[in-house]
Structure 1
Amino acid sequence: MPQALWGTRVSASTVTDLNQKIYKQIEQWCQQPLVGDFPYVFPGWSVAEAQLGRRGEKRLGADGDWRCAERLSADPGGERRRKEDEASWTEFLRGLKGRGLKGVELLVSDKCLGLVENVVDFYPEAKWQRCVIHFYRNVWTAVPTGKVKQVATMLKAIHAQEDAEAAKQRACLVVEKLRAMKLARAAEIVENGIAETLSYYSMPPNTGAVCEPTTRWNG
């Protein structure tokens, strides 16, 4: 792999030395103070790092304008990714809080209980939003491959409604249709979990809350 990247053979010790230097720089960066408010926070995983987003003067929006997104922390060793338990998320959120993370209004993530249970302790006034992409994938586990595209269209229609009440009504219709399609388990997942994906409706328009940030930017 090093030879493929750099075009020359590199010894294992050289790679180790470079990794140690890089990790030290990342660790220093992870300790820098966070200045200003971060209304929308997106803990997500891309390979072995945590990515979070910030809304600046412009909205962090679902229209693809992610220029105001800012990465706040990373987990280069992948330790937190391997665990994702309550203790590791407590440590993570405590670290962000200690560095000055404030103004959090909405936190979007998958349904990792270790994280969800901790949000209220550190940011009691913030709302939690279940990542819609993760939710869709959860529903698709109960859908035959040949029907995934059809069900995906049905699910996206829920989150395209003008307000939360309309979205809930649409979700009821989707549940009925899934049952008519003999997809009882998928219908149950939607019925029991859809409310967790609608928190963004209480935020200003175009917050991008229904999106998974790692699908938009990786830099």
Structure 2
Amino acid sequence: MKEKLELIMREEIKHFLEIEQADTSNMRNGYYQRNLDTQYGRIEGLLVPRDRNGEFQTQLFAPYQRHTGWLEEAIIRMYQSGMSTREIGKFIERILGNAYSPATISRITDVVKEGIEKWHTRPLHKRYSVLYLDGLYVKLRRETVEKEAIYVALGVNEEGYREILDFFVGGQESAYVWQEILQQLYNRGVKEVLLGVFDGLPGLEEAFKAVYPKADVQCCVVHKVRNTLSRVRKKDQFEVAENLKLIYRAPNKEMALQMFQQFESKWSSKYPREVQSWANELDVLLTFMDYPSSIRSVIYTTNAIERTIKEIRKRLKPMNSLSSLEAAEKVVYLTIQDFNEKWAGRKLRGFAEAQEALERMFEERYN
């Protein structure tokens, strides 16, 4: 490797002097030695040619670069995968023999900060058929370590392509913060939305409707079922679950309402609060039945975004607690970029078949 790099640089300076400096008196001026860390290991005593005027620069690396770009990329990838700055530093020391402090690793990962700022303000599509809203809690250090929320908004555009639109880190999850996030999405171009899908956070439905008054709301059926089953006796859980399936798996809303009446008659005396809770929320639990059948299975629940949430949590878990708000944002941003790149050419299941119907819904609702 050392010999090959030195040969390339000798050819480079030869071309530089014979072509670019042909009309000058510039000439070679020996070599200087330097070390270079590469993906194959450290090269010591690399002979770098120089010219008398000090104008030659090899294209293999920058003047004061001590390692090729693979190392920064590798560090960012390790950080993205959930390794802490301390773990990355120890790993590099084992491989290359020289130590990288957590502060140095953090500075290297800072290259993504500019990308984060641009990403947070990028223009968005005007129309999104669905907005999924969900969040998670992570341990974040701000003098003391406490759990704080990460808010994530995923959109499916009118053609059926999904992307994470934005995220926000900090504080406790609240409808007020969600409304601010939604308002920012609106200001960045998201003017028309058909459906918002989220769990039953108090006040979130009102916050969503404040920004998108013409949009429908779908509360996550899966969350609702889980909450209900946690409140019934163990011996009844299977039967209650099967009876609830008859409601949300009904072929149409009329049949679903009939199934709920049967559920109500059967269980209201034993579990009055749980049955009444379903009665109170039935409209927003069955909204998905007003939409094309091909997409109902992906809009009656927040599963579409929960996979992303699960991956973010997985990558943050090895870090135990995040050293700063910036550290959290970097990991979340890098994880989200992976998902958005993966989804770029793939429509969400069922949306291709539903596209014409959804376009009609947009026209009827917003024009």
Tell me the TM-score normalized by structure 1. Answer: 0.79
Alignment partners' CA distance in 2, 1:17 and 1:147: 56
Moved more, 100-109 or 149-158: 149-158
Once the 2 structures are TM-superposed, how far is the Cα of residue 21 of structure 1 from its aligned partner? 4.3
Unaligned runs of 5+ in 2: 1-82, 93-99, 138-149, 312-338, 340-367
Rg bigger for which structure?
2
Once the 2 structures are TM-superposed, how far is the Cα of residue 177 of structure 1 from its aligned partner? 2.2
* CA displacement, residues 28-80 of structure 1 (integer Å, 9 cap, x when unaligned): 2121100242111111125534031304434xxxxxxxxx22111112x3x16
Please identify which structure carries the higher strand content.
Answer: 2
Partner residue in 1 for 2:91: 8
Which residue identity lines up with residue 25 of structure 1 in the other structure?
A: G
Partner residue in 2 for 1:70: 163
Alignment partners' CA distance in 2, 1:103 and 1:28: 23
Matched, 1:134 2:217: no
Alignment partners' CA distance in 2, 1:46 and 1:140: 22
**Does the CA contact (< 8 Å) of 1:172 and 1:191 recur in 2?**
no
Cα distance change of structure 1 residues 84 and 5 upon mapping to structure 2, 3 Å threshold: farther
The DSSP-based 3-state class of the residue aligned with 1:101 is coil
* CA displacement, residues 106-148 of structure 1 (integer Å, 9 cap, x when unaligned): 1111122343212222211111111112212221231124433
Alignment partners' CA distance in 2, 1:156 and 1:44: 23
The DSSP-based 3-state class of the residue aligned with 1:113 is coil
Once the 2 structures are TM-superposed, how far is the Cα of residue 196 of structure 1 from its aligned partner? 1.9
Partner residue in 2 for 1:185: 273
**Does the CA contact (< 8 Å) of 1:142 and 1:185 recur in 2?**
no
Alignment partners' CA distance in 2, 1:26 and 1:73: 10
Partner residue in 1 for 2:17: none
**Does the CA contact (< 8 Å) of 1:85 and 1:115 recur in 2?**
yes
Matched, 1:211 2:301: yes
What value does the CA root-mean-square deviation take over the aligned residues?
Answer: 2.7
Which residue identity lines up with residue 195 of structure 1 in the other structure?
A: D
Partner residue in 1 for 2:132: 42
**Does the CA contact (< 8 Å) of 2:225 and 2:241 recur in 1?**
yes
**Does the CA contact (< 8 Å) of 2:130 and 2:157 recur in 1?**
yes
Once the 2 structures are TM-superposed, how far is the Cα of residue 4 of structure 1 from its aligned partner? 5.5
Partner residue in 1 for 2:343: none
Partner residue in 1 for 2:211: 122
Tell me the TM-score normalized by structure 2. Answer: 0.50
Cα distance change of structure 1 residues 183 and 16 upon mapping to structure 2, 3 Å threshold: same
Alignment partners' CA distance in 2, 1:6 and 1:146: 53
Which residue identity lines up with residue 74 of structure 1 in the other structure?
A: F
Matched, 1:97 2:186: yes
Which residue identity lines up with residue 167 of structure 2 in the other structure?
A: A
Give the fraction of aligned pairs with identical amino acids, expressed as a percent.
25
Cα distance change of structure 1 residues 216 and 166 upon mapping to structure 2, 3 Å threshold: farther
**Which structure is richer in relative contact order (CA contacts within 8 A, separation 6 or more)?**
1
The DSSP-based 3-state class of the residue aligned with 1:143 is coil
The DSSP-based 3-state class of the residue aligned with 1:45 is strand
Moved more, 104-113 or 45-54: 45-54
Which residue identity lines up with residue 214 of structure 1 in the other structure?
A: I
**Does the CA contact (< 8 Å) of 1:49 and 1:74 recur in 2?**
yes
Matched, 1:161 2:254: no
Unaligned runs of 5+ in 1: 59-67
Partner residue in 2 for 1:33: 123
